[in-house]
Structure 1
Amino acid sequence: MVSSTAPAFVRMAAHPLRWRLLTELAASDYRVRELVDRLGHPQNLISYHLRLLRGAGLVTAHRSSFDARDSYYHLDLERCAQALTAAGAALHPALRLDPAPPSATTADPPVRPRVLFACTGNSARSPVAEALLRHRTSGHVEAASAGSHPKPHLHPNAVRVLREHYGIDIAGQRPRHLDTVAHHRFDHLISLCDKVREVRPEFGDQPRPIHWSIPDPAASNDNDQASYPAFRHMAADIDTRIRYLLPVLSHVTNTEVQP
């Protein structure tokens, strides 16, 4: 017997305000007050619907590393993909399809997107993101990274996690300052830590700002061996976000070159 009750995801996403929250968080991580400004609704109403989305497992939240009084909200796109697939199967067996994993195309796009990843030290999160984006696109996207206060060297666990889990070697790379790329043109500026988001440089061509609120894996433990699991988790999180970024890069590029 077919259930007359709509799947949980459909019921959750059907509310106009919750759909707008999902849409905003699909593009970037945000704080509550930023969502209030973007959507034009009172904070208590925004917080209420965010709480419902968190209860459904679609949205997560964690304290900002810049200001612990704030929290950043993040949309779990993989959970959304699974929920959409389940909703399709509930409607008709022919719609019981596995979600296609986001992946890069092998052909060169008409215009190569340029993406800059920024964090504070440019020693872990941003160089890992740069390397993974370049790896996932086979060089068809121009990726760079820099930091507001670059460290002298890459963190050894960042080098290790890329080598052991992705077959990527960045041992010869050195952190660099955001000032060194300030005059370059980028299509997307992606900040990966909450601190650098507050001080990211201005670019003349106004790249699309995106924020991925990812905790510093080195802050979990001063011992490299003990902190390595945090680096694995960080790299996996970034890799998932990058896989879902690829269709966005492709879509924007193809749209911009249309006559």
Structure 2
Amino acid sequence: MKTNPVDAFRARVAKHAALADPARLRIVDLLTLGDFSPTELQAELGMPSNLLSHHLRTLEGAGLATRHRSEADRRRSYIRLAAGALDGLAPGVEHGAGRVLFVCTRNSARSQLAAALWQQVSDIPSASAGTHPAERIAPGAIDVARRHGLQLANRSPRRLDQVAGDGDFVVTVCDNAHEELTGLAGVHWSVPDPLRINTEEAFENAFTDISHRINGLAPRMHAA
């Protein structure tokens, strides 16, 4: 049975609210390692039993913790992390796309790297384009791609109006392109232009920035 998106969102809000307290966050950290009795948690945290009871009730109410009786001493109980307790805390799938289109001004570095990186982590097709494409891909982009096992050498910059299609989820990776395309649906990543400095370090920094952002976006996308 599919979960109602509103209910799932409310459950995530409740979990975040419960974890906003430092003591409850510490309790959950401990429960990721194993089960604890209330007495053990009290000793670990150095707090009075009535306050600990309040925190545990809050965690149980938010679906983060459960308790069960000891098989050895039925007067004793253990607190454990609830099954799937931490599921859904990260943003969930929010967008559908037939293709992800990465756009920068010259389509010679950032957007090319982004499209190549996307193909490594998602089954959704990717493409890249430029608002004012260059004649060729920047050598620095080809070099950093090669160092990370990607091939850009056989690709060519292309114009946005020649590439864009219905169903594209557009990601601008260049401030100039984003500001030129005001009103275009999609998201923007403000990635510094490595060609401004044109050093190996600048291209590595751009590659790392784009890679982290793609790893964050890909799990939130589904094929439309």
* 1:232 pairs with one of 172, 194, 204: 204
For 1:90 and 1:190, the matched residues in 2 are separated by 37
What 5-or-longer segments of structure 1 have no aligned partner? 1-12, 15-82, 103-110, 222-226
Q: Which amino acid aligns with 2:159?
A: H
SS, match of residue 144 in structure 1: strand
Aligned counterpart, 2:31: 94
For 1:249 and 1:196, the matched residues in 2 are separated by 23
- Compute the TM-score of the two structures, normalised by the length of structure 2: 0.58
Shift of 1:125: 0.3
1:127 aligns with 2:112: yes
Aligned counterpart, 1:215: 192
- Within a 5 Å distance, the mapping from 1:26-41 to structure 2 comes to none
Q: Note if contact 1:122-1:145 (Cα within 8 Å) is conserved in structure 2.
A: yes
For 2:121 and 2:108, the matched residues in 1 are separated by 20
Q: Note if contact 2:97-2:168 (Cα within 8 Å) is conserved in structure 1.
A: no
Shift of 1:198: 2.0
1:157 aligns with 2:93: no
SS, match of residue 234 in structure 1: helix
Q: Which amino acid aligns with 1:219?
A: R
* 1:118 pairs with one of 97, 103, 111: 103
Q: Residues 113 and 228 (structure 1 numbering): CA distance in 2 closer, same or farther, change over 3 Å?
A: same
Q: Note if contact 1:178-1:201 (Cα within 8 Å) is conserved in structure 2.
A: no
Q: Which amino acid aligns with 2:180?
A: V
Q: Residues 187 and 246 (structure 1 numbering): CA distance in 2 closer, same or farther, change over 3 Å?
A: same
Structure whose alpha-carbon radius of gyration is higher: 2
Cα RMSD after superposing both structures: 3.1
* 2:173 pairs with one of 175, 192, 198: 192
Q: Note if contact 1:154-1:173 (Cα within 8 Å) is conserved in structure 2.
A: yes
Q: Deviations over 1:77-113 (max 9, x none)?
A: xxxxxx99x987513311369x99x9xxxxxxxx873
* 1:144 pairs with one of 110, 127, 134: 127
- Compute the TM-score of the two structures, normalised by the length of structure 1: 0.50
Q: Note if contact 2:107-2:129 (Cα within 8 Å) is conserved in structure 1.
A: yes
SS, match of residue 198 in structure 1: helix
Q: Deviations over 1:7-44 (max 9, x none)?
A: xxxxxx97xxxxxxxxxxxxxxxxxxxxxxxxxxxxxx
Q: Which amino acid aligns with 1:176?
A: R
Count how many residue pairs are aligned between Structure 1 and Structure 2: 148
For 2:23 and 2:202, the matched residues in 1 are separated by 34
Q: Residues 192 and 168 (structure 1 numbering): CA distance in 2 closer, same or farther, change over 3 Å?
A: same
Q: Residues 89 and 249 (structure 1 numbering): CA distance in 2 closer, same or farther, change over 3 Å?
A: same
SS, match of residue 221 in structure 2: helix
